[in-house]
Structure 1
């Protein structure tokens, strides 16, 4: 006996929750109905905002990110970002020369940095530079370029040229999205380009990202996950993502 539309929808959502995705072909075979019927089912469920359709499959939520001002972003997952920042500080060593990129997670990281012998910081964020400039024992360099009002950070070729003149021990990078296949992304193409230049200038790449950033994509692609040395995130990361990152050889620190 064929399932009715209500039962099909219940089973689709159950499978989606269990597996993290469903495909049109698999559902068609499972329910013994046409591909057209399954596409209509998924369309109806998407209209109810219960899933997001993408290339012959469906996933739980829309993975594409829209840009929000830094004043809004800093209030999101603030507790998790604080824990991540404290863990990031533990990676600092005497005489480190580091890059701090833009984003609310790395700004929180800057707030936790204490005086450390020979520490030099190059900052893309105006907020980060102002925070660290209050400490006379930290040498602070402000990256040049055009200022993005939404993030109070610099972007553009001036900053990229400046980065080419230095070598840094570590890069602390905030991102808008981490996709296991697509890699690290941000919502701004010029910021992505600047982040690529930062990666070239640094010996170790450390990403600070709360768990909400996983399985999300932004407009500008920064790099693949195999270019990342360490990700510091919170305990809300799901088991499948955690397992995959470990398989990829990324050092994962969970707070």
Structure 2
């Protein structure tokens, strides 16, 4: 059986049953464990299934919107590496907008160590994290708006407030990144508010781990040419790196442990 035929059978089984184990596929297709894992990797890379421990499940739908807590449990090490690297881009005394999302929240944790910051955010968790009534050195501004499952404040109130704001840097978390669809989110209102955040900033820094590449949400926030820098982790594959660099985006690969960051 050809690899394409195997992968079609795997994708069909996942769609019908919601998920399937590697051991079941090995027995059914009479191939090695490693062959099935490679097939699942290929399908996951195309967004057709989601790779999980021991097998595969259905890929996220474009309108699916995981909650903040659920997303916090995904790729924590990579998010931590991205956060430390991104914080190095922020200078003391600057103004920063921080979007909602768990990777942006990880960056906010690192921003606590930078002096004299003004922070604008539509994320209640970020505002709660950074606000300290004893610290007169940091100003935290929280937009109003309607709260989403991903813990973002969105809608007309947030958008109108952001229309009057001008910051040095935006730290933007996203649901997915695709060469054609650009930066995406499953929430239509959040897309509008994120566009308002982009308009408010001189420099746009997108923070996203490697799993976001190839994921497409319901609504496009912006095309890749609208961002300045993308900070991701070392697991982003070489073809994706080349595609991103072609868009003239400053690609920064977050350092692992104490290794230096790599830019292209």
**Same fold judged by TM-score > 0.5?**
yes
What secondary structure is seen at the aligned counterpart in 1 of 2:180? coil
Coordinate RMSD, CA, aligned:
2.0
Rg larger for = 1
What secondary structure is seen at the aligned counterpart in 2 of 1:131? helix
Distance in 2 between the 1:60 and 1:228 partners?
A: 23
Which residue of structure 1 lines up, in the alignment, with residue 262 of structure 2? none
Contact 1:106 / 1:172 at 8 angstroms: preserved in 2?
yes
Contact 2:65 / 2:150 at 8 angstroms: preserved in 1?
no
What TM-score does the superposition give when structure 1 sets the normalisation length?
0.78
Contact 1:95 / 1:118 at 8 angstroms: preserved in 2?
yes
Structure 2 unpaired stretches of 5+: 15-38, 49-58, 255-264
Contact 2:185 / 2:221 at 8 angstroms: preserved in 1?
yes
Contact 1:245 / 1:252 at 8 angstroms: preserved in 2?
yes
The superposition leaves residues 102-136 of structure 1 with CA deviations (integer Å, 9 ceiling, x where unpaired) of: 00001111111134343100011101001100261
The superposition leaves residues 57-110 of structure 1 with CA deviations (integer Å, 9 ceiling, x where unpaired) of: x94624744211111110110010011010111010122111100000011111
Distance in 2 between the 1:101 and 1:242 partners?
A: 24
Contact 2:112 / 2:130 at 8 angstroms: preserved in 1?
no
1:97 aligned to which of 95, 102, 124: 95
Contact 2:118 / 2:138 at 8 angstroms: preserved in 1?
yes
Which residue of structure 2 lines up, in the alignment, with residue 12 of structure 1? 4
Which residue of structure 1 lines up, in the alignment, with residue 145 of structure 2? 145
1:119 aligned to which of 111, 117, 120: 117
Per the TM alignment, residue 48 of structure 1 is displaced from its structure 2 partner at its CA by 2.5
What secondary structure is seen at the aligned counterpart in 2 of 1:236? coil
What secondary structure is seen at the aligned counterpart in 1 of 2:170? strand
Which residue of structure 1 lines up, in the alignment, with residue 74 of structure 2? 76
Structure 1 unpaired stretches of 5+: 1-6, 17-41, 52-57
Size of the alignment, in residue pairs? Answer: 213
What secondary structure is seen at the aligned counterpart in 2 of 1:48? helix
